[in-house]
Structure 1
Amino acid sequence: MPIVNRAADLQPEIQAWRRDIHEHPELGYEERRTSAFVADRLREFGCDDVVTGLGGTGVVGVIKGKAPGKGDIRSIGLRADMDALPIEEATGLPYASRNPGKMHACGHDGHTSMLLGAARYLAETRNFAGEAIVIFQPAEEGGFGAEAMIKDGLFDRFAIDQVYGMHNGPGIPVGSFAIRPGPIMASTDAVNIHIEGRGGHAARPHLSIDSVLVGAQLITALQSIVSRSVDPLEAAVISMCEFHAGNARNVIPQTAELRGTVRTLTPEVRALIGKRVHEVVEGVAQLTGAKIDLEYVPGYPVVVNHAAQTDFAVTVASEVAGSGNVAEMPPMMGGEDFAFMLEKRPGAFIFCGNGESAGLHHPAYNFNDEAIVFGTSYWIKLVENALAA
C-alpha cells in the first residue's frame, strides 16, 4: 500500500516532531510555541494558505488538490488538538516534559504530529480534487477551543463540507481503529454548589444548620437521579468529586462547597438530569433550611458521529488497517469538544490504537510512536478517497 509505505518513510521525522512537542507542553490558549511550530512546518510544506491566531492560538492550513473540487464534497477538514494537561509527568522518558506541572498526558502531541505528517504528504502529492483543510485546535481540555475557532470564523472563512477528528485509544491494539455511528462520547456539564448553613459548636448541633450534613444529603440525593429518574436503558453519570468544608474537628462549618460532573449521551437525558438536579437542590434547601446556590454549567455537547461519514471512515480505516482491525466500539462517557464541529458539519470521530499504554490523563501515559504510520495514513487516504481526482 503506497500511502502506508510513504507514511512509514515519514515516520522518523513525524516522531521527532512529536517528541519535540512532548518536551514543550503548553496548556489551553497558551500553545504559542506549538502553534508557531505547526505554522512553520505548514509553510515549509508549501500549503496554499496558513492562518494563525484562529480561536486564540489555533492554526489552519489549506492544501489545494491538483484539480478543482467536483461533486457535493469539494473540501474536508481534518482536526487535531494541540494542548497539554496540568499534570506532573512521571514517565522518566528522555524527552519528558521540560515544563513543570504540564504534560502531554492525552496524546495531543501525537495527534498534532500525525496531522502534520499528512499535511506534508498531501502538499507534496496533491493527488486529490478540491481542498484539504488541516485544523490545529487549541484548548480541547475543557477550554472550548473548538467552539472558539468556530466563533472566530472557522466555517465562515474556510469552505469545509465535512469534518473529521481522531484520538488515540489506549487498550486498542496498534494498527487497529474503533468507531461507532451516533453518540460516541458524552456531554460534559458541571455542577457547582455553595451551601450556606449556620456554623456553631460541634457539641450543640441543634443550634446550627450543619453544612456538612446538608452536603452529604445532597450527594446522596443527586446520585439517586440516575438510578431513579433515568431510563435504565439510557446512559448517564453524575459524579460529585469535590466536597470542601470545615477546618476543625469541633466546629460545625458555616459553609460547604460541592463540585461534580454530569455525563449523558442524548440531549433528552441531558435536559432531564439538568432539571432534576435543580429540583433536588431546591428540595434539600427546603428540607434543611440551608441556603444553597447551584451553578449548573453546560459543557461540551454529545459527540455524535454522522451515519454516512462513519461508514466512510470505516471504509478508509479498513483500507489502512484491514477490515478485521476496525471495531465498533461502545460509547464512552468521556467528553470531546470536537462535538461542536460535528454540530456544524457532517463528519466522524475515530479512535486509533495506542496499544497497552497507561490510560489517558495518567502521569505515566505516553503516545505510542508505532501508531504514527496508521494515523497518518488514515488522514491521507481519507482525503484522497473523499476528494478523488
Structure 2
Amino acid sequence: MLSENELIQIRRHLHQIPELALKEYETHAYLLQVIAQLQTDYMEVQTPAELPTALLVLIKGTAPQRTIGYRTDIDALPVTEATGLPFTSQHPGVMHACGHDIHMTVALGVLSYFASHQPKDNLLFFFQPAEESENGGKLAYERGIFNGQWRPDEFYGLHDNPDLPAGAIGCRMGTLFAGTTELNIDIEGQGGHAAFPQDANDAVVAMATLVTQIQTIVSRNIDPIQSGVVTIGKVEAGTIRNVIAGHARLEGTIRGLTQEMLLKIDDRLRALCQGLEVSFGVKVELELNQGGYWPVENNPALTKRFINYMQTAPGVNFIETKPAMTGEDFGYLLAKFPGTMFWLGVEDDAQLHSATLTPKEASIQRGVTAITGFLTARMNEK
C-alpha cells in the first residue's frame, strides 16, 4: 500500500508532466508504471484500443455482488503555470490547473489499498482522458469500453475544491455540477453603405435584438427557484464604422442544473432564432454543442448512502455543498450508470483553472482514507 509520502511524490511527478486532452501519453505510461508495482493476482489492467490514453484497472472481489466503478480524470489545461513550485510543470503552456494530478493520486491511493486488501466486490478504476475538452467520458461510453467485466454497476468520482478545507468531503443530493452547452449563432443580412440603410439589411440591429431576447429565456422560461445561465461572451460584426454589417456572429455558453432544463433552453433559442428570421428578414444559423458535458445529477439512493457514511465516519469532515455552475463530463457517465460525484477539499486561495492553483497535499491521504472507508462499507451492503 502506498504511503502518504509516496503519494505526495507521485502527485509531484504527475504535476510536472501535464498533457492536454487525448494526448496524455506520458501520464498514461507513468500511471502504468505505478500500477505495475501494485499488481496482484486478482488485478487486471487494460488499455482500450478504442481510447489509447485511457486506462482500466479491475480488482476482482472475494465474493462480488456488484462491480463498483471509480473514475479519475487525467488531462490538464493550456495554462502557463505561475505557482513557483519546485515541481512546476515541465511542459510549457500546460498545467494541472484543475487539480487532476490530485485526482489521479487519490485514485492510485485507493487502488493501492485494495491491491493489498482484496475487496469483497469487484472494483473498476477508470483513468479517463479528455475531461477538460473532447468529452472523454462520452467517448469511452460510445466506443464501448464498458463491456463485460469492465462494466460498472455504479460509478463514483471526485473533484477537488479549493474553497473547502483540506481533506474535507463535500456532496449534496441532486445536481452537483451544471451541464454546459456551447452556442454559436451566425446572422446573415445584407451589407451596405451607412448612408443608405434602406438598401441594406443590418445584421447588427438583428443581433442586438437577439441578444436582448436571449436574456429573457432564463428570466421568463425557467422556474425562478431553479438555476440556469445563458451568457453571450463574444460578438463579432462589421469592418468599419460607415459600412452596414451584413454578417454578425455570437458565441456563448448555456448552463443548467438538469438535462431537461438545458433542452428547454435549447428549444427557446431555436424559437427565438426562427422568429428573428421572420422579423428581420435575415438568415440565422444556430449551432448547439453539448457533447458529454451533461449535468452531474447524483443518484438519490446511492448519494444518500454516501452522505450518511461521510457524516458519521470518524475523522471525516463532511460539508453539504451547493450546486456549482461549472461543467464536468462525469455527468454523461452518471446518465448511463447510477452513481455519485463529490468534492475533495484542497484549501487554496486560488481558484480552479488558475495559473497559481496550489492544492494542499494534506488532502490526498485524507481523501484516500475517506473513500476506502466508504467503498468498504458499501461492499457490506446489499
Fold conserved between structures, TM > 0.5:
yes
* Paired residues for 1:1-389 under 5 Å: 10-47=3-40, 48-53=43-48, 55-65=51-61, 67-69=62-64, 73-126=65-118, 128-157=119-148, 158-299=150-291, 300-318=293-311, 322=315, 325-388=317-380
Counterpart contact for 2:348–2:358, Cα < 8 Å: no
- Matched residue SS, 1:317: helix
Cα shift readout 1:12-34 (whole Å, capped 9, x = no counterpart): 21122112121111111111111
Whichever residue aligns with residue 144 of structure 1, its letter is N
2: CA distance between counterparts of 1:321 and 1:352? 16
- Matched residue SS, 2:47: strand
2: CA distance between counterparts of 1:316 and 1:357? 29
- 1:68 CA drift (Å): 2.4
- 1:198 CA drift (Å): 1.7
Counterpart contact for 2:24–2:129, Cα < 8 Å: yes
- Matched residue SS, 2:363: helix
Counterpart contact for 2:348–2:357, Cα < 8 Å: no
2: CA distance between counterparts of 1:244 and 1:22? 38
**For the aligned residues, what is the CA RMSD?**
2.1
- For the structure 1 residues 15 and 248, does the alpha-carbon distance in structure 2 shift closer, same or farther, using more than 3 Å as the test? farther
- 1:50 CA drift (Å): 0.8
2: CA distance between counterparts of 1:60 and 1:220? 47
- Matched residue SS, 1:102: coil
- For the structure 1 residues 288 and 145, does the alpha-carbon distance in structure 2 shift closer, same or farther, using more than 3 Å as the test? same
Unaligned runs of 5+ in 2: none
Moved more, 353-362 or 133-142: 353-362
1: CA distance between counterparts of 2:301 and 2:180? 26
Whichever residue aligns with residue 137 of structure 1, its letter is Q
- 1:187 CA drift (Å): 1.6
- 1:320 CA drift (Å): 5.4
2: CA distance between counterparts of 1:256 and 1:308? 48
Counterpart contact for 1:84–1:103, Cα < 8 Å: yes
Whichever residue aligns with residue 286 of structure 2, its letter is L
Counterpart contact for 1:55–1:150, Cα < 8 Å: no
- For the structure 1 residues 288 and 320, does the alpha-carbon distance in structure 2 shift closer, same or farther, using more than 3 Å as the test? same
- For the structure 1 residues 206 and 15, does the alpha-carbon distance in structure 2 shift closer, same or farther, using more than 3 Å as the test? farther
2: CA distance between counterparts of 1:165 and 1:78? 6
1: CA distance between counterparts of 2:308 and 2:99? 24
Cα shift readout 1:191-215 (whole Å, capped 9, x = no counterpart): 1111112222334434322222222
2: CA distance between counterparts of 1:221 and 1:63? 53
2: CA distance between counterparts of 1:120 and 1:75? 17
- 1:139 CA drift (Å): 0.6
- Matched residue SS, 1:132: strand
- For the structure 1 residues 94 and 209, does the alpha-carbon distance in structure 2 shift closer, same or farther, using more than 3 Å as the test? farther
- 1:321 CA drift (Å): 6.3
| Aligned length, in residue pairs | 376
Counterpart contact for 1:55–1:151, Cα < 8 Å: no
| TM-score (ref. length: structure 1) | 0.90
2: CA distance between counterparts of 1:320 and 1:382? 9
Whichever residue aligns with residue 361 of structure 2, its letter is D
Whichever residue aligns with residue 39 of structure 1, its letter is L
- 1:159 CA drift (Å): 4.1
1: CA distance between counterparts of 2:209 and 2:355? 34
2: CA distance between counterparts of 1:276 and 1:159? 37
- 1:322 CA drift (Å): 4.2
Cα shift readout 1:76-124 (whole Å, capped 9, x = no counterpart): 1111000111222222222222222221111111101110121112112
Cα shift readout 1:116-174 (whole Å, capped 9, x = no counterpart): 12111211222x21321111001111311111112233331314221101011121111
Whichever residue aligns with residue 69 of structure 2, its letter is G
Whichever residue aligns with residue 16 of structure 2, its letter is E
- For the structure 1 residues 88 and 209, does the alpha-carbon distance in structure 2 shift closer, same or farther, using more than 3 Å as the test? farther
- For the structure 1 residues 163 and 250, does the alpha-carbon distance in structure 2 shift closer, same or farther, using more than 3 Å as the test? same
Whichever residue aligns with residue 49 of structure 1, its letter is E
2: CA distance between counterparts of 1:33 and 1:182? 36
Counterpart contact for 1:76–1:133, Cα < 8 Å: yes
1: CA distance between counterparts of 2:213 and 2:329? 29
